[in-house]
Structure 1
Amino acid sequence: MSLRVGKAFLRFNRQRCALITKAVHVQQLHSGSSGFTDSCYDGLYPGHISTTPIQKALLAVASGVAALHNPYRHDMVAVLGETTGHIALINLRNRMRNDPEGNIILIERPRIRLSTLDLSKMASLPDGSFGREYLRFLEDNHVTPDTRAEVKFVDNEELAYVMQRYREVHDLLHTLLGMPTNMLGEVAVKLFEAAQTGLPMCALGAVLGPLRLNSSRLRSLFTSLGPWALRNGRQARCVLSIFYERRWEQSLEDLRQELNIEPPPLKLKHSTRGGLEKD
């Protein structure tokens, strides 16, 4: 009798632990905190939060509504991507496995963080090299790779890494595609990513993003940037299968040619007034 009671108590305690973890995590998602750690995760990887299909559906709806209201809520965009991207992540993982360089990435699990980047070396590289242009992108747009959220809702350790790699490669795609971080640039990158990855979150961003563009930028998107982004997303080599950390010294143009990515039809930049200009 006491053994049955003890087992029942242990099951209850595990359930309580999981519920507390989920509640704390959802609260921190809304507060924008990225420092969540808890000993109650189920062991797939640090920070993982196990959820049922129904819970994933509820999270997808809630995060989708929040992201629609404010596309710059990167925490909600992250949750949406994790709860809707299972099939796309499997396809991306398989493409990486079938690529020699991509398979090495899956084995070695490199991370793109400030702690893994040699910024001094990258700054000493010549103009036009991939590493120097990526560093210039970070400086010009005031962004850092450390802002990318850690994966929590993907229920497979390897697929979780694929999602993390996608997030950390996002800024590299901005560099490869020559797109700034304003709304027009983000929509162009999302169109490329939607065609390249099949992630529903990318498709949603590509569809909803144009609603926030004015008429002149919509014209640029529909007549040149949009078709270019979709075409290159379909024809390019899998962008997750490139060990970018070993390509900093390669010229940006050579890397584009290797990936089968055409140069952008428009050169966009931020104006000194904080708006967008075309060269």
Structure 2
Amino acid sequence: MLKLINGRNWYAACVFRRRIVTSSEKLCLKAEASSEEDSTGADNPYFADFQKFHIEASPAQKLILSLGSAITTLLNPGRPDALGVFGETSGHSALQKMHEKMMMSSEGQLILTDKPRINSSTVDLNCLKKLPPNTLGRTYIKFLEENNVTPDSRTPVQFVDDIELAFVMQRYREIHDLVHTVLGMPTNMLGEVAVKWVEGIQTGLPMCVSGAIFGPLRLKPKQRQRYVNSYLPWALSTAANAEFILNIYFEKRWEQPMGELLKELKIEPFVES
């Protein structure tokens, strides 16, 4: 039984419960994803993935990995492997707080229970193309196609020892493109830095915070002016006012109109000044 929640999350929880009752929960999900939702505890496929990819490391080893990967990421931001290691070895406290935030939301709790995955094996991308315009699913597939990105690019978590926290990190990775979609941010440097500010403030993950701080150093002068005048103020305001993004069960919301979703999440669309 999911824990009851109160306060400002109550209305959103009621809206979510009504939505999954009145619409098809498994819309655009493949058989593998459906089996994940129907599995509980150790039967959930994520447990097998965790055991397959998990690497034991001592605190000293994790410290060395964290420092080494942080330096590598600063010198070569195009190394996603180093960024991933840095995130896993430096984010324990942040992951604990993220997990706590998810446990405070009925929708977040359901995500933690189901442990859904987002990739081409679980999401029917062709199905998303057939959804009405301006729905989350249609907007998401449009983002993937226009930016030539794939949901299969997210690597498995390796250095997080607690399986629940490992899933939280995996979930953070796999919804990254959906965060871009919801925020309306492109995959260029301006868009990535804006997304990193939102993610960094909401999650507290050191890799997001460092990306938000050091990323602007790579901007060109004209880009930096646009960043300071428009992107940064909007990102800071969005991060502070929006609902916690990891509490959104995106897979159950493919049919939801984007305007309705943004209103529910308290996200104001970006408008460059």
| TM-score of Structure 1 vs Structure 2, range by shorter chain | 0.7 to 0.9
Could you tell me how far apart the structure 2 residues matched to 1:195 and 1:247 are? 24
- How far apart, CA to CA, are the structure 2 residues paired with 1:192 and 1:229? 6
Q: Which amino acid aligns with 1:93?
A: H
Structure 1: which 4+ aligned runs deviate by more than 6 Å?
none
Q: Which has the higher contact order (CA 8 A, sep 6+)?
A: 2
Residue in 2 aligned with 1:251?
A: 257
Letter in 2 for 1:165: R
Instruction: Report the counterpart of residue 88 of structure 1 in structure 2.
Output: 94
Structure (1 or 2) with the larger CA radius of gyration:
1
The aligned residue for residue 178 of structure 1 is 184
Structure 1 residues without counterparts, runs of 5 or longer: 1-42, 268-279
Whether the aligned pair in 2 keeps the contact of 1:166 and 1:240 (CA below 8 Å) is: yes
Q: 1:124 aligns with which of 111, 127, 130?
A: 130
Is 1:226–2:226 an aligned residue pair? no
Corresponding letter in the other structure for 2:249: F
Deviation at 1:95, TM superposition (A): 0.7
Kindly provide the amino acid, as one letter, of the partner of residue 69 in structure 2: S
Bigger shift: residues 91-100 or 67-76: 67-76
Match in the other structure for 1:209: 215
Give, in whole Å, the separation in 2 of the partners of 1:179 and 1:72. Answer: 19
- After TM superposition, give the deviation of residue 46 of structure 1 in Å: 2.2
Matches within 5 A, 1:258-273: 258-266=264-272
User: Scaled by the length of structure 1, what TM-score is found?
Assistant: 0.78
Q: Does 1:115 align with 2:129?
A: no
Letter in 2 for 1:178: G
Contact 1:44 1:155 in 2 (8 A): no
Residue 62, structure 1, aligned to residue 68, structure 2: yes
- The 1:44/1:73 distance shift into structure 2, 3 A limit, reads closer
Greater Cα offset, 218-227 or 156-165: 218-227
Give the letter aligned to residue 79 of structure 1. V
Q: Could you tell me how far apart the structure 2 residues matched to 1:191 and 1:122 are?
A: 28
2:105 counterpart residue number: 99
Tell me if 1:150 matches 2:156. Answer: yes
Please, which runs of 5 or more residues in structure 2 have no aligned partner?
1-48
User: How far apart are residue 44 of structure 1 and its match?
Assistant: 6.3
1:50 is matched with: 56
Closer/same/farther in 2, CA of residues 113 and 156 from structure 1, 3 Å limit? same
Aligned-pair distance for 1:57? 1.0
Deviation string, structure 1 residues 136-169 (Cα, Å, up to 9, x no partner)? 0000011011110100000100000000000001
Q: Which residue of 2 aligns with 1:162?
A: 168
d(CA) in 1 for partners of 2:240 and 2:201?
Answer: 5
Q: Is the 8 A contact 1:48 1:151 kept in 2?
A: yes
Name the count of aligned residue pairs: 225
Matched letter for residue 140 of structure 1: E
Following superposition, the deviation at residue 45 of structure 1 comes to: 2.7
d(CA) in 1 for partners of 2:237 and 2:91?
22
In angstroms, what is the RMSD of aligned CA positions? 1.4
Residues in 2 aligned to 1:212 and 1:82: alpha-carbon distance in whole angstroms? 24
Match of 2:83 in 1: 77
Q: Deviations over 1:162-216 (max 9, x none)?
A: 0000000110010011111111110010011011111111010011111110111
**Distance in 2 (alpha carbons) for counterparts of 1:253 and 1:266:** 19
1:57-107 CA-to-partner distances (Å, cap 9, x unmatched) read 110111111111121211111000001100110001011111001000000
Equivalent position of 1:141 in the other structure = 147
- Provide, for residues 213-240 of structure 1, a one-character-per-residue CA deviation record: whole Å limited to 9, x for no partner: 0111111111111111111112211111
Q: C-alpha separation between the residues in 2 aligned to 1:130 and 1:207? A: 30
TM-score by length of 2: 0.80
Q: Deviation per CA, 1:237-279: give whole Å up to 9, x if none.
A: 1111111001011111211111111101239xxxxxxxxxxxx
AA aligned to 1:255 is L
